[in-house]
Amino acid sequence: MSDQELLAQIRALKLENEALKVRLSNTPLPPSPNPLSLEEYNRYGRQMIVDMPSPIESGLPAQLKLKSAKILIIGAGGLGSPALLYLAGAGVGTIGIVDNDIVDTSNLHRQIIHDSHRVNMLKCESAKLSIQNLNPNVNVVTYPTRLTHSNAFEIFEGYDLILDCTDTPLTRYLISDVAVKLGITVVSGSGVGTEAQLTILNFMNMGPCYRCFFPVPPPPTSVASCSEGGVIGPCIGVMGVMMAVEAIKFIVGAYTVENFEPYLVLYSGFPGTSSGQSMRTFKMRRRQKNCACCSNEPSITKESIESGSINYELFCGSRNYNVCQADERISVHEFDSAFSPRDTERAVKENLIMLDVRPNHHYNISHLPDTVNIPLKVLKNMNGSMELLQEVIPTVNTESEVIVLCRYGNDSQLATRLLKDEFKIGNVKDVKGGFFKYIDELDTTIPKY
Amino acid sequence: MVKVKVEFLGGLDVIFNKERVHKVEVPQEDPVTLKDLLDYIIDNMIANKNDVPVFIENDTVRPGIITLINDTDWELEGELEYELQDGDIISFTSTLHGG
């Protein structure tokens, strides 16, 4: 066939296609005799044939409940990733996703709803794409915004259930408070390292809320994040999966006002030196009569939350790292030009000590040459004893020049204070932004974790 | 004297030589309360005194740590006044916040 003949044929087919499309759109589809499409029966068949003890719904009624359910997932991270995928797979009709963060390579070992091609994409949009690939029947609503006291009510309204997959005490209090005021049940998960926890809050507006369990927030210094404390992907993932189980149970009526008992699950993937894995379920307190949020006379109200008079930042507090004066800090460029980390000779001659205060297992991943590693915690425990410090750095004395480095430039400030105030070393400088800033701006060949 | 098992979970083991489970004998005449056990832990089990505030605040367990008596929230068992029985399992777990 010649090119011209081919083009003519394509034009003819296009016309025919258009005509067929018009005819199809004019013919109304016959009303389906079934409440689900045939594709949906096929897709959900394996879960629909699981027999449940009464009064838990199973089969078609359960599937229809899932289809009409609206579930809001806050945080599309280590917990949210598996929870979102399983809930989408199970056929939850509407899934809302709140997350204003973007996908980073360091998320991918655990945040499995995202992938390497989606780095720098908004997590909620990346999650939406994965869900649409998995199950196009799901209606996904994305909220690429940080959850705050002023937008939470608007976002939560209309959802049947909330999954708290966030990572700070502040958002956990906020989510619980707003859910209590709106009467929405919260499935709450968390985890760090090799351990994870799960509980149900404000169940049917009669179960305990986050404030019943934790009327006083933990001191900010005791709160570890995944980026700080590290996390084994499947250890947090297992809890995201369990959150999806609890969400399905809630929707199909496995929990009732009569049978609900407050609980907290603790999962330990690596339970110390003992073998195996450990999954414990603890019996927890009921709703507290004096709770600031869910009692009969709460001090926390919708108005006080929305107006901002409940100050979550102040309530939860924050760590104060800004303990050094401007002249006690140097930039990574000043550090590099004045104290080149590779100028060993000068270092010895001038009694210059470059101290890296990261935890030992961080230091072992990567570090600058000619640095000494004393973790901040170890330094603290020396209680200002120069003798103990000299056991690690024999050349150090109060006349030494010490440059302090950590991962991001926070702990190094605390260490600078200790060295000056407790060890009485006069000339101590903190490197602003730390080792990672040095890598970013001066030597990108050094591994960053 | 009472013999109990004490567990430090959710990362709390870091201040107990990274040991999660400890067999503890509180050498004291009955009744031994949970408050007595806390005193015993502070005096005998926290290796580094700088770490006491990780576990204790205002003479009780620090906010953010859940205390369990035989897998039940201590709030349901009388908290500090609970009288220990031989064989009890007392668990302390930090709340986790990461996600």
> What span, in angstroms and rounded, lies between the C-alpha atoms of A418 and A422?
5
Q: Residue A169 carries which side chain, given as an amino acid letter? A: P
In this chain, the answer to whether the domains covering A69-316 and A326-442 adopt an identical fold is no
CB contact under 8 A, B76 and A283: yes
Given this model, what pLDDT does residue A19 score? 84
pLDDT category at A221 given cuts 50, 70, 90 is confident
Given this model, what pLDDT does residue A441 score? 95
| Beta pairing, strands A94-98 & A70-74 | parallel
pLDDT category at A343 given cuts 50, 70, 90 is low
Segment among A173-182, A333-342, A424-433 with least mean pLDDT: A333-342
Question: Who has greater pLDDT, A104 or A351?
Answer: A104
pLDDT category at A21 given cuts 50, 70, 90 is confident
Q: Is A107 marked as a binding-site residue? A: yes
For testing contact with chain B, the best of A113, A266, A315 (most B CBs within 10 A)? A266
Given this model, what pLDDT does residue A213 score? 97
CB contact under 8 A, B97 and A285: no
CB contact under 8 A, A280 and B71: yes
For residue A347, pLDDT beyond 70: no
> Roughly how many angstroms between the first and final C-alpha of chain B, as a whole number?
42
Given this model, what pLDDT does residue A195 score? 95
Given this model, what pLDDT does residue A31 score? 67
pLDDT category at A29 given cuts 50, 70, 90 is low
For residue A4, pLDDT beyond 90: no
pLDDT digits (tens, 9 = 90+) for A372-414: 999 999 999 999 999 999 999 999 999 999 999 999 999 999 9
For residue A435, pLDDT beyond 90: yes
For residue A183, pLDDT beyond 60: yes
pLDDT digits (tens, 9 = 90+) for A121-152: 999 999 999 999 999 999 999 999 999 999 99
State the smallest CA–CA distance between residue A266 and chain B in angstroms. Answer: 8
CB contact under 8 A, B71 and A282: yes
A69-316: CATH class: alpha beta
Given this model, what pLDDT does residue A399 score? 92
For residue A342, pLDDT beyond 60: no
Does residue B97 sit at the A interface (CB-CB below 8 Å)? yes
Residue of A nearest to B95 (CA): A197
CATH architecture of A326-442: 3-Layer(aba) Sandwich (3.40)
| Other beta carbons less than 10 A from residue A358's beta carbon | 24
For residue A424, pLDDT beyond 70: yes
- Closest by CA position to A348, among listed A372, A332, A329: A372
Q: What is the pTM of this model?
A: 0.88
Q: In chain A, where are the structural domains located? A: 69-316, 326-442
Question: Could you write out the DSSP letters of every residue in A267-334?
Answer: EESS-TTSSS-EEEEEE-----TT-TTTSSS-S--HHHHHTT-S-HHHHH-------S-GGGEE-HHH
Given this model, what pLDDT does residue B24 score? 97
Given this model, what pLDDT does residue A370 score? 86
Catalytic residue set of A = 226, 406
Q: Which residues on chain A are in Cβ contact (under 8 Å) with B20?
A: 271-274
pLDDT digits (tens, 9 = 90+) for A88-127: 999 999 999 999 999 999 999 999 999 999 999 999 999 9
Question: Who has greater pLDDT, A22 or A132?
Answer: A132
> What span, in angstroms and rounded, lies between the C-alpha atoms of A270 and A231?
12
Q: What Cα–Cα distance (Å) separates residue A37 from each residue in A41, A45, A95?
A: 7, 12, 20
pLDDT digits (tens, 9 = 90+) for B44-87: 999 888 899 999 999 999 999 999 999 999 999 999 999 999 99
Residue of A nearest to B14 (CA): A272
User: Does ipTM exceed 0.85?
Assistant: yes
Q: State the average pLDDT for chain A.
A: 93
Average pLDDT over residues A222-238: 88
| Domains of chain B, start order | 2-94 (3.10.20.30)
Average pLDDT over residues B5-20: 92
For residue A350, pLDDT beyond 70: yes
Q: At B57, is the secondary structure helix, strand, or coil?
A: strand
Torsion angle defined by CA atoms of residues A280, A210, A258 and A256, in that order, rounded to the nearest 10 degrees: -90
CA atoms within 13 A on the CB side of A50: 11
